[in-house]
């Protein structure tokens, strides 16, 4: 039996994917719980998975993200963690081979 703590999609992430659709004047992007046991979410473009984002530790516990910090620790602490996340990941590519990277979707949807 797995000790994986099930990740629940937060309203923050649902709102962010809706914001992306609004900015692009489309409704083609959506998110669902990932089928990959090492990831939290799959990002879909229409019916096709285009990114799997948000790491889950080998013991099945999801790494914290901005909406989880908001819920559990409050806005001040969540903002501090977001700033540190952005600093750690500032040099990651946002476009790879002409496609938006998993890193970009992670920053948009989870941070």
So what's the pLDDT on residue 12?
97
pLDDT in tens, 8-37: 999 999 999 999 999 999 999 999 999 999
Dist CA 54 CA 89 (whole Å): 13
Phi-psi region of 52 (alpha: psi -120 to 50; beta: other; left: phi over 0): beta
- What count of residues does the chain have? 111
Domain boundaries along the sequence of the chain: 11-110
Helix ranges (H only) for 1-111 are 11-23, 66-73, 75-88, 102-110
Dist CA 87 CA 24 (whole Å): 27
30 burial (CB, 10 Å; 0-12 / 13-18 / 19+) is middle
Dist CA 25 CA 5 (whole Å): 35
So what's the pLDDT on residue 14?
97
Compute, in degrees rounded to 10, the torsion defined by CA atoms 50, 55, 60, 64. -130
pLDDT at 45 > cutoff 70: yes
């Amino acid at each position: 039996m797995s000790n994986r703590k099930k990740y629940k999609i937060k309203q923050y992430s649902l709102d962010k994917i809706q914001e992306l659709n609004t900015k692009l004047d489309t409704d083609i992007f959506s998110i669902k719980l990932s089928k990959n046991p090492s990831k939290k979410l799959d990002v879909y473009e229409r019916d096709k998975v285009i990114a799997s984002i948000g790491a889950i530790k080998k013991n099945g516990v999801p790494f914290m993200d901005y909406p989880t910090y908001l819920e559990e620790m409050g806005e001040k602490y969540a903002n501090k963690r977001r700033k540190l996340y952005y600093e750690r990941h500032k040099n990651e590519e946002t476009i790879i081979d002409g496609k938006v990277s998993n890193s970009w979707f992670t920053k948009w949807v989870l941070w």
